[in-house]
Amino acid sequence: MKPTNKPMKRLSLYLFLIFFTLQTPSKADDIRDFQIEGMSIGDSLLDYFSEEEIKSRKQWFYPKSEKYYRINIIKEFEEYDHITFHIKKGDKKYIIESIKGVRYFENNHKECLKFKKEMVQDISSFLQKPEDRTYDGGWPDGRAKVEATDFTTSGGYIRIWCADWIKAKEEKGYKDGIFLTITPQKIYKWLGTAQ
């Protein structure tokens, strides 16, 4: 995670988790200025994966809308265990509409939070006014705990969150970990109506 003009020493601390590229260190002008594994909002997945590989992934649609779907690509990325993308239904170019990187911290929530703190401090040096929140991850009976930090940038949102799935992981097979989402406003609003 870095502005492009920061030294490589600074980058080495975070290289295995996130790789941001900004034009200006003090402010991100656009949500597309951010990258995960070199991929940005607005890029075509075809620049990184074959069409056969993309089509082989299950398409996950939402209950109230099929305007966009999400796919997971699990492979040996440099920083992440898998990456999730939102793609517009019928888009033959497979333009990335949103992106999420996931790195697992199995049964190690404390280490996840430590890592999250470092990431938040680094991002806070060029994105202002982060908002912290804790929520139940959709499990109000205490089966999960999510600790998140949200950043607002021009055109979208960035969230870094650690999930401790507690009992939910046994029931659903979820894995504890750190998640980074880069979501444009239009997808954020759509998700609010699609789930």
pLDDT of residue 29: 52
Task: Say yes or no to pLDDT of 1 above 90.
Answer: no
Mean pLDDT check: name the lowest of 60-74, 79-93, 149-163: 149-163
For residues 195 and 191, give the distance between their C-alpha atoms in angstroms, rounded to a whole number: 6
Q: For tokens 């949102």, what's the residue?
A: 157
Judged on CB neighbours under 10 Å (0-12, 13-18, 19+), 51 is exposed
What CA dihedral angle connects 168, 157, 102 and 3, to 10 degrees? -150
For residues 109-114, average pLDDT: 92
Chain segment 120-172, per-residue pLDDT in tens: 988 887 787 899 999 887 777 777 889 999 999 888 999 999 998 877 676 77
As for how many domains the chain has, the answer is 1
Structural domain including 108 reads 2-194
Specify the DSSP class assigned to residue 195: -
Judged on CB neighbours under 10 Å (0-12, 13-18, 19+), 3 is buried
What pTM did the predictor assign?
0.82
Asked if 183 and 98 count as a contact pair (C-beta separation under 8 A), the reply is yes
Asked if 72 and 93 count as a contact pair (C-beta separation under 8 A), the reply is no
For residues 167 and 67, give the distance between their C-alpha atoms in angstroms, rounded to a whole number: 32
Q: Which residues contact 192 (CB under 8 A, 6 or more apart)?
A: none
